[in-house]
């Protein structure tokens, strides 16, 4: 699954207005709901990235950890909302102390990974037209 398969579009109040096909099973039922109502404690983690993208009008990418996963968030502002792409980089594995230690290493490594190249600005013309 590519980055483009995993994204949501938020309105100005962080209400989910669109969920991409790749996230339908997980988040499809969130359409019309405020994102934070489903993600306790996430506003402090994701919010700064969203705010920076909206304030600057530019694409902003940020590495974040939330709920056992390191993700690369890419927030792309446009007239019809804020498209937020999720790329999952590492997952917490609490099965045993061994898997926990290994996954913590992967998480630390992922959080230290360099930022990717910014998205093609042409993609901002219409968020729903993204592949």
Partner 1 sequence: MAVTVQQSPSVVLDADYRIVEVGPSAEGGFGPLAGKNLWECFPGSESLFRPYYDKARRTGAVEEFVQFYNGYVTRVRAEPRGDDLAVWWDKLHVIDGLTLTSLEDSIARTIAVIDDEHSSALRLQARGSLRLIAGGA
Q: Binding residues for partner 1, per CB under 8 A?
A: 40-41, 44-45, 65-68, 92, 94-97, 99-100, 104
**How many Å separate Cα 129 from the centre of its chain?**
18
Min CB(96)–partner 1 separation in Å = 6
Min CB(52)–partner 1 separation in Å = 19
Of 67 and 126, which CB lies nearer to partner 1 in the complex structure?
67
Q: Helices H, strands E: what count in the chain?
A: 4, 5
Of 28 and 68, which CB lies nearer to partner 1 in the complex structure?
68
Of 83 and 107, which CB lies nearer to partner 1 in the complex structure?
107
**How many Å separate Cα 47 from the centre of its chain?**
11
Min CB(68)–partner 1 separation in Å = 4
Helix (H, G, I), strand (E, B) or coil at 42: coil
Of 18 and 65, which CB lies nearer to partner 1 in the complex structure?
65
| Closest listed residue to residue 34, CA positions, set 59, 63, 8 | 8
Min CB(27)–partner 1 separation in Å = 18
């Amino acid at each position: 699954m590519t980055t483009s398969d995993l994204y949501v579009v938020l309105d100005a109040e962080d209400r989910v207005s669109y969920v991409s096909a790749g996230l339908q099973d997980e988040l499809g039922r969130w359409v019309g709901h405020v994102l934070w109502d489903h993600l306790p404690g996430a506003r402090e983690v994701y919010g700064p990235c969203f705010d920076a993208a909206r304030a600057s009008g530019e694409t902003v990418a940020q590495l974040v950890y939330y709920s056992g996963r390191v993700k690369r968030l890419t927030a792309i502002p446009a007239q019809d909302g804020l498209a937020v792409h999720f790329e999952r980089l590492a997952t917490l594995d609490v099965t045993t102390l061994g898997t926990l230690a290994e996954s913590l290493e992967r998480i630390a490594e992922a959080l230290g990974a360099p930022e990717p190249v910014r998205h093609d600005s042409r993609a901002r013309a219409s968020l729903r037209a993204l592949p």
